[in-house]
Amino acid sequence: NTVQENVTIPKGTVRFDEADQAWIYGLYDGQIRQMDEELFKPLIAHLKVLGLYEKTLVIVTADHGEELLEHGFIGHPSTSFKGIAYDEVIRIPLMMTGPMVLPKGQVVDQQVQNVDILPTVLALLKLPIPEAVQGRSLVGLIHRDDDEALPAFTETTPGGYQATQEMMKTRIRAMRTSEWKLIHTHGPGVDVYELYNLQADPTERHNVVDDYADVVAPMRTALHQWVLRTQPRVSVEPAEITQSEIVLNEPLRVLFPADGDTFRYVDVGKTVSVRWTGPEEAKYMLEYRVGEGSYFLEGTMAIRGTSSQYGPFTDEMWNMLALYNPWSFRVMVQGQN
């Protein structure tokens, strides 16, 4: 039996020299070769022996890349305890082979995300894509029917999956387009933005955040909106009665919060709650509008019952929500005007 141990080298405990990069690259290339020889080649060969290769969709990707001294160290957040969002860590392979459903040799140049894999697989198998699924199907890109370039988002902590509770208080988030990357490091005692022009500075050496306010402002807003949009939501159970049977004896009224209410983090138990009148067994649509100007977010959520609670939020998230004041809500019975 062999035992594999995760190698952790916290940043600052070891000093590397630029001359070390050649042998570090060699070790990394050797690991890739080992993966090819010991996993992928036998796997494909076995699928062919079983007569399954032509019926199998094989997807190769990763959860992160590796810094190999591009920014002075090696590893990734869970091995170096230094959370970064530079391309050497967030750019990863995505290769698909499915002889029955994918064109041979097709290369997609646009950036995509791991959350796009599930809707892509469902689309390739001609299965419905649930509304709650994040990401988009890449089938249009693969077949050249879709050329829409979308931004990519990422988030990590200084310790990755090994993060302590203290490390979890700091988040490194990034938004990446084909031309720009905005990185936001936020936590106790730190609130730093970095901006890189990926076309002029592909190795991300020159932070130009102070030089391009017109680029930073919309990217910062989009990044904050993504953080809020991807928070866990309350699931909706199927109603036991049809919505058409719901009868309102009076117009719906929001009971909490009252107009003009201000939430204090500790006083409301670190949560945001909404309550309204109406039948408990009904399903409702909650429309929300948060913030104004550059900080603006709106949308709808399906909810069963006459209340909904969001949180508890971390103090970091609560402070971010404060950027989006004021809040407004409108509630209606789902399927009824």
Summarize pLDDT for 223-264 with one digit per residue, the tens. Answer: 988 887 776 654 445 445 555 556 667 788 888 887 877 777
Preceding peptide of 251 cis, ω within 30°: no
Give the C-alpha separation, 24 to 7, whole Å.
14
Whether the model clears a pTM of 0.75, i.e. scores above it, the answer is no
CA atoms lying within 13 Å on the CB side of residue 222:
17
What is residue 118's predicted lDDT score, i.e. its pLDDT? Answer: 96
R_g over Cα of the chain: 24
Summarize pLDDT for 273-295 with one digit per residue, the tens. Answer: 888 888 888 888 888 888 877 67
Beta-carbon contacts of residue 282 (< 8 Å; ≥ 6 apart): 239, 243, 246, 304, 306, 333, 334
| Higher pLDDT among residues 225 and 315, named by residue | 225
| Higher pLDDT among residues 307 and 247, named by residue | 307
What is residue 242's predicted lDDT score, i.e. its pLDDT? Answer: 58
